[in-house]
Amino acid sequence: MFEPSGERASTSQSGRSSSATSVKTQDTLPSAGFNVAALAKIGEQAFQRGELVSAELVALTYGALVRQLFLDYQAPEDVNEELERIGYNIGLRLVDDFLARSAAPPCRSFQATAEIVARVAFRMYLGVSARPANFAADNTAYSILFDTNPLAEFVEVPDAVANTLWYSNIFCGVIRGALEMVQFSVRASFTRDMLRGDECNEIRVCLLRELEETVPLDKET
Amino acid sequence: MSTTAMALPVPFLQARRNQSAHFSVFALLFAETISYFQNRVDSIAELEERLLDLGQQIGRRVLELVWLREKFTRREIDVLGALRFTTTTVWRFLFGKFADSLERVKDKENEYIIVDNTMLFARFISVPTELEGLNCNALIAGIVQGVLTASGFPCRVDAHQAPPADASEYVSRSLFSIRFLPESNHTF
Amino acid sequence: MPIYTVFIINRSGGLIYSAQFQGSQVHPLNECLRLASTLHSVQQISRQVSPVDILDDIGLTSLEAKTFRLRLYQPLTGIQFVAIATPEVTDEILLGILRRLHLLYADYALKNPFYVQDMPIRCKLFDIHFMKLMKPYIANPVE
C-alpha cells in the first residue's frame, strides 16, 4: 500500500536538477522558484495516498502526552522544552519518511525548505494548509502560518499556564529535527498561537548555519 | 494533584468531523511516547503500566468523543452492551474497522477477550530480545480499559500476543483480556 | 537475474545493514565494513570532482563492471542504499528496489522506538520485510 509508484520515482529524480538550479538565486522569490500550486498538489496527493488515521485520535494521544509531561515536569517552561525535544526526535526520523513517500522536489536552499515544509509536509501529514511568510531580507528566517491546528482541536489551556505554555511546541522540534537531517541547522519557535487568542498560528524558523553537505554529520564535529 | 497538571483536551461538539492525519505521524508519536517512558522506568512491567495509564486517559476522551459523534443518547446498561459498543463503534473510531471477535472466557463470569487479527498500531515495532515480553499494545489495552471504566464498568484490561491466524501474515493477532471488577454492577 | 549483495550505509560511512545472497562470493563482515566505508568515501569524492556546481550533482549513482552492476541510492538525509547485482538487472529495477528499501527503513527501523538512528539495524520486522522484498531477486539466502 505504500509502494512508491514508478512514475513518482522518476518525478523526484528529474525534479532534482531543474529545481535545484532555480532555487539557488538570491532573489527573494517567496516561492523559492517552486510552483506553489504544484507543491500543494504534491502534498495533497501524498496525503490521499497515505494510510490515514483519525486526526482526533492523534490529538487525544498528544493531549495525553502533554498531560503526562505536566505531571512529570510541572513547570510549563520545562514542558515546552521537553515537547520540543520529543518533536526533534520525531523530526530526525520523519524526514526519511517524507523523502520516501512524497514526490517533493529536494530543498537545496533554506528558502526552499519554507515552501516544502509549509505546502507539502503540513498537507501530507496533517491534511491542513500552511503557508510560508515573513521572509527575512537576508533569507535567514521565515515564518510558517497555519489556521487549523489538528493537535489543538479540543484544547483549553488552563489560565495559570496560558501565557507560558506553547501547547503545540512539538511542531518546532519536528521542524528543527527534519531540517537538520537535510543540512540546515535551525531554531524554530512559536510566535503566535490561536490558543492564546492570536488570529493564526505562526512558527518562526531561523537559520543558524548550513551544515557542510559533503562532511558526514557527526555529533562530535 | 498539582494545580498545574493539565486536564486532557475535552472534545467540543462543534469539532470538525472526519479529519484525518497521516499514519506516520501517529506511529512516530507512539514511538516517541514509548521512548519517553522507557527512560523513566526500571522494568518491562512498569513500562507497560505507564502505557496502560496513558491509554486510559485517552480512552476516557475517546468515549466522550464517540458519544458526541455517534449522537448516542443512552448509556449502555450492561457489560455485554458496553463490550459490543467497544468492539464496534469505538473500534471503528480507533482503527476504522470492527474487532474480529468478542468471546467470554470459559467458566469465568466476568472475563472476556477481544480478538483483533490485524492490529496495525504497533506494526513497525520490533521488540528487542532484552525487552522480550513487552507488549506495546498495552496502550490500546489502556484505551479499552478507559472506555469501559468511563462507561461505568470498572475493569482491568491486558494485552496479549498470539500467533497470526494466517501463517503467511506477519502481523500477530492481538488479544485483549478484560476482567470486570466486582463493582461493575453487571447484569448477565 | 539475481542480486548479490545489499548494503545500507549511514551518514558517516558505517555499515548498518548488509545481506549477501547465494551465487556471490561471500565476504566476511569486517571486509564488508571496509568496503562500505570506502564506497561512502568514493561517493563523497565523486561529488567534489563533479565539473558542475556541487548542489546539482548527487555524485556516483551506479557502477558497471563485467560481472556485476552496482546501484547506489542516496536520499537527501545522506543515508546510502547499495545493491550489487548481475549486469543484466537494469538500473531502473535496482533503483526501484532501493527506493522500497528506503521506505522499509523509514517504517521498520525509524518508527521502531528501540532502534537507535545510525546504529546497525537489528529489527526482526525489518528483516522479515526485507526478505519479502528481495525474494523475487535471489536464489537462496545465505544468512
Q: Which residues of B are less than 8 Å from A161 in CB distance?
A: 4, 6
| pLDDT value, residue A14 | 36
| pLDDT value, residue B185 | 63
pLDDT band at C140 (very low <50, low <70, confident <90, very high): low
Q: Is residue B72 assigned to a domain?
A: yes
Q: Which of A138-147, B15-24, C11-20, C118-127 has the lowest mean pLDDT?
A: B15-24
Put simply, whether A65 touches C (Cβ < 8 Å) is no
Task: State which residues form the domain around B60.
Answer: 23-180
Residue B64 sits in a domain whose CATH number is: 3.30.1380.20
Closest among C26, B76, B28, C32 to A58, alpha carbons compared: B28
Q: What residue type is B78 in one-letter code?
A: D
Q: Is residue B141 assigned to a domain?
A: yes
The residues facing B134 across adjacent strands are none
Q: Which residues of A are less than 8 Å from C13 in CB distance?
A: 216
Q: Is residue C143 assigned to a domain?
A: no
Which chain A residue is nearest to residue C107, measuring alpha carbons? A97
Residue A172, min C-alpha distance to chain B (Å): 14
Contact A189, A172 (CB under 8 A): yes
Please indicate whether, in this complex, the C-beta atoms of C75 and A100 are within 8 angstroms of each other: yes
Residue C24 sits in a domain whose CATH number is: 3.30.450.70
Residue C10, min C-alpha distance to chain A (Å): 9
Contact C118, A92 (CB under 8 A): no
**A133 backbone dihedrals φ, ψ, rounded to 5°:** -160, 175
Continuous segment of H or E residues that includes residue B113: strand B111-116
Mutation site, C17, C102, C110, C111, interface B, largest B CB count within 10 A: C111
Q: Which segments of chain B have a pLDDT < 70?
A: 1-18, 71-74, 164-171, 185-188
The subunits that touch chain C, with at least 3 C-beta pairs less than 8 Å apart, are A, B
Residue with cell 531561523: A206
Task: State which residues form the domain around C10.
Answer: 3-137
Q: Tell me: the pLDDT tens digits for A77-112?
A: 999 999 999 999 999 999 999 999 998 888 778 999
How far does chain A reach from its first CA to its final CA, in angstroms? Answer: 40
| pLDDT value, residue C54 | 57
Closest among B37, B50, B46, B58 to B149, alpha carbons compared: B58
Put simply, whether A120 touches B (Cβ < 8 Å) is no
Contact A193, A214 (CB under 8 A): no
Q: How far apart are CA A122 and CA A40, in angstroms?
A: 10
Reduced to 3 states (helix: H, G, I; strand: E, B; else coil), residue C140 is: coil
Q: State the average pLDDT over residues C3-18.
A: 94
Number of residues written out for chain C: 143
Q: How far apart are CA C106 and CA A95, in angstroms?
A: 9
Continuous segment of H or E residues that includes residue A97: helix A76-101
Q: Is residue B97 assigned to a domain?
A: yes
Residue A162, min C-alpha distance to chain C (Å): 32
Q: Tally C-beta pairs within 8 A across A and B.
A: 140
Q: State the average pLDDT over residues C70-92.
A: 93
Please indicate whether, in this complex, the C-beta atoms of C102 and A97 are within 8 angstroms of each other: no
Q: Which segments of chain A have a pLDDT < 70?
A: 1-32, 212-221
Tally of CA atoms within 13 A in the half-sphere of A176 that contains its CB: 22
Architecture of domain A6-210: 2-Layer Sandwich (3.30)
| pLDDT value, residue B165 | 62
Question: What is the number of domains present in chain B?
Answer: 1
| pLDDT value, residue B73 | 63
